[in-house]
Amino acid sequence: MPEKIFRIYNSMTRSTEVVEPAQPGRLRFYACGPTVYSYAHIGNFRSFLTADLVLRTAQAIGWETAYVTNITDVGHLTEDDAADAEGEDRMAKALRSKEGERFANIWDLARYYANTLLSDWQALNLREPDARPRATEHVARQIRDVARLLEKGHAYETAQGVYFSVASFPDYGKLSGNVLATGLDEGVRDVVQDPEKRDPRDFALWKKDPDHLMVWHSPWGWGFPGWHIECSTMAQAYLGESFDLHTGGEDNKFPHHECEIAQAESLSGKPFARYWLHTRFLQVEGEKMAKSAGNFFTVRDLVGPESEGGRGIHPLALRLALISGQYRKPLNFTFDQLLACARHIQRFEEAADLAAQGVARNDPGEDALGEPLARLYEQALAAMLDDLNTPEAIAAAIEGAKRVLRDGRTMGGATARSAQNWLEKINGLLGIVAQETPRTAAKTAGSAAAEEAFAREVEDLLRQRAEARAQRDFQRADAIRDQLAGMQVEIMDAPEGTRWRRQISNPVS
């Protein structure tokens, strides 16, 4: 197999470049994760899915990967994107809100939304990272980094906190092009800033606030870390001072990523990440997604069961819709398109069923699909290697499913085997054919074999439940549903059949 070339658009150099990991064949990368003050919305997931596609594409060409994505559970302030170190901690604000009433304290709230994030992650078939550090579990290291920045003269202390001195880092602005304070200035106009701040561009590394709901002891008294230092510290803790790629949403580019670079490079004197990849925003039905516009959707609004206020949409249909546009272009998410995606997912499932039935038949026949399907896989892979061109990759996948369905029930064993292998490879690349066994669940259960046994038991119960329902024995059907709930299995009834997934334990409900 000739060496594959993986190209992405590097926001740092503003050009499309060949990805060359520092260690050939081993991609080390960090993706900015969510702030867990609420359920993740579909715009958040568009950016997480880009990282997932980078991971899958790298693995598809045989690279090893070291993939880290964080959970922000303290210190991300409401005004952080516009006015540094101003506003309220999003976590504390969520606790005071109507939805926050059911939590006993802020730690319960953080744990709950982090758990729902993990279950959405699993539902949308994202592969598990090698590490998922939480900011609150790495505060000692963040304090150490802030202390080192002070020692090196890159930071200073005021009565209210510790700030990074932007003037001490001449490269500030190299990612976003934002060298003046304009981006921040406009936001700060209405907010009272720390009067001791030396430069409006300076940003908080540490906030002194003994009354905050989440506090740690530091050399500067009780308080909590700034959002930017959390990410650069965790990235360097898990991936080293320098690594290959850093990803996030386009709204992370400035100030968040600019500040991460300033901190990390001031500490190490080395380039932080060599490639930067940013996912453009998502619109819903042609408009900016906003709660006030009534077009704001969390993942569970769409894929959750109808009994819980969701729409019962197949999670893979949502995944397909969210990756249907290339990450570098704004994506207009529409319900028409989501329905079209649901039909595609149904076809992938039908193709997988037909292939499985064909393989079970004892007539090998000639392999009618091996060659055309191999060509379509190569097309899909080539598209993904070309700056994650998902529309072309998905088109090749859909074309392949069409071929499999066309041969349908007449497929001999050899053809069916090719179809099955192809579906598995396409799923590995795009994650749109079938839910992959989540690694987290396998770990809890101890082994893949235990996981399979568990799945068989669930499938068996689902079959019994379907029989009971067909016989209109609803009492028995409900009892089976309760039994499944007791096994932490969530079931989703949809017109195309019943699906299930493991629930991640929910500490508050």
8 forms part of the interface with Zn ion (CB under 5 A): no
- Residue closer to Zn ion by CB (options 70, 266) is 70
Kindly tell me which residue out of 58, 149, 162, 231 binds Zn ion, with binding defined by CB under 5 A: 231
In the block, which residue shows the tokens 């003046």?
180
Q: Is 32 in the site for Zn ion (CB under 5 A)?
A: yes
Query: Alpha helices, DSSP H only, in 78-226?
Result: 90-96, 106-123, 139-151, 182-188
* 82 or 231: CB nearest Zn ion: 231
The smaller minimum CB distance to Zn ion, of residues 51 and 477, is found at 51
Rounded CA-CA distance 314/269 in Å is 47
Residues 116 and 505: their CA atoms lie apart, in Å, by 9
- Tokens in use for 498? 């019943």
| 3-class SS letters over 105-131 | CHHHHHHHHHHHHHHHHHHCCCCCCCE
Our CB check for Zn ion shows the closer of 52 and 451 to be 52
Looking only at residues 145 through 184 of this chain, which bind Zn ion when binding is defined by CB under 5 A? none
Q: Which stretch binds Zn ion (CB under 5 A): 24-32, 36-44, 120-128, 340-348?
A: 24-32
Restricted to residues 46-85, the positions that interact with Zn ion (CB under 5 A) are none
Q: Which two tokens stand for residue 200?
A: 């409006």
Interface stretch with Zn ion, choices 2-10, 115-123, 227-235, 477-485 (CB under 5 A): 227-235
Of 94 and 135, nearer to Zn ion (C-beta) is 135
Q: How far is the CB of 149 from Zn ion (least distance, A)?
A: 17
Q: Closest separation between CB of residue 256 and Zn ion, Å?
A: 6
Q: Of the two residues 32 and 351, which places its CB atom closer to Zn ion in the complex?
A: 32
Is 71 buried (19+), middle (13-18) or exposed (0-12) by CB count in 10 A?
A: buried
Smallest distance from Zn ion to CB 70, Å:
6
- Judged by DSSP in three states, 137 sits in helix
Q: Taking the complex as a whole, how short is the minimal distance between the CB of residue 370 and Zn ion, in angstroms?
A: 44
Handedness of CA 430, 436, 440, 446 (dihedral sign): negative
Interface stretch with Zn ion, choices 58-66, 108-116, 231-239, 501-509 (CB under 5 A): 231-239
- The CA distance from 468 to 480, in Å, is 9
Tell me the closest approach of the beta carbon of residue 33 to Zn ion, in angstroms: 7
Judged by CB under 5 A, which stretch of 30-38, 209-217, 278-286, 468-476 contacts Zn ion?
Answer: 30-38
Question: Is residue 206 a contact partner of residue 230, using CB atoms and an 8 Å limit?
Answer: no
Please enumerate in sequence order all residues whose Cβ is within 8 A of that of 472, keeping only pairs 6 or more positions apart, or say none: none
Tokens of 276: 């930067």
> Per CB under 5 A, which region of 230-238, 311-319, 329-337, 403-411 contacts Zn ion?
230-238
Least distance CB 34 / Zn ion (angstroms)? 10
Q: CB nearer to Zn ion: give 231 or 404.
A: 231
Cα separations (Å) of 323 from 279, 332, 430? 11, 11, 9
From CA 158, how far away is CA 147, in angstroms rounded? 14
Identify which of residues 202 and 260 has a Cβ nearer to Zn ion in the complex: 260
Shortest approach of Zn ion to residue 30 CB, angstroms?
Answer: 8
CB of 246 to Zn ion, least distance (A): 9
Stretch that binds Zn ion, among 95-103, 105-113, 224-232, 401-409 (CB under 5 A): 224-232
Instruction: Say how many residues touch Zn ion, by CB under 5 A.
Output: 2
CB of 332 to Zn ion, least distance (A): 26
- Cβ distance to Zn ion smaller for residue 231 or 461: 231
Mark the segment that binds Zn ion (CB under 5 A) among 28-36, 88-96, 351-359, 423-431. 28-36
Q: Show the binding pattern over residues 391-420: x = contacts Zn ion (CB under 5 A), - = does not.
A: ------------------------------
Considering the complex, state which of residue 121 and residue 348 has its C-beta at the smaller distance from Zn ion. 121
Residues 336-395 that bind Zn ion (CB under 5 A): none
Q: Which C-beta is closer to Zn ion: that of 231 or that of 384?
A: 231
**Binding window for Zn ion (CB under 5 A); candidates: 73-81, 228-236, 325-333, 446-454:** 228-236
- For Zn ion, give the closer residue by CB, 71 or 419: 71
The answer to whether 9 and 277 are in contact (CB under 8 A) is yes
DSSP string, 347-389: HHHHHHHHHHHHHHSS-----SSHHHHHHHHHHHHHHHHBT--
Min CB(168)–Zn ion separation in Å: 22
CA atoms within 13 A on the CB side of 133: 22
CB of 188 to Zn ion, least distance (A): 21
CB-CB contact of 218 with 206 (8 Å): yes
Residues 6+ apart with CB under 8 A from 298: 38, 39, 40, 41, 42
Q: Which is nearer to Zn ion, 32 or 82 (CB)?
A: 32
Q: Closest approach of Cβ 473 to Zn ion, in Å?
A: 52
Give CA–CA dist 488/306, Å, rounded. Answer: 18
Distance CA 122, CA 136 (A): 23
Q: Structure tokens of 164?
A: 């990074």
Give Cα 6 to chain centroid, integer Å: 21
Residues that bind Zn ion in the complex, under the rule CB under 5 A? 32, 231
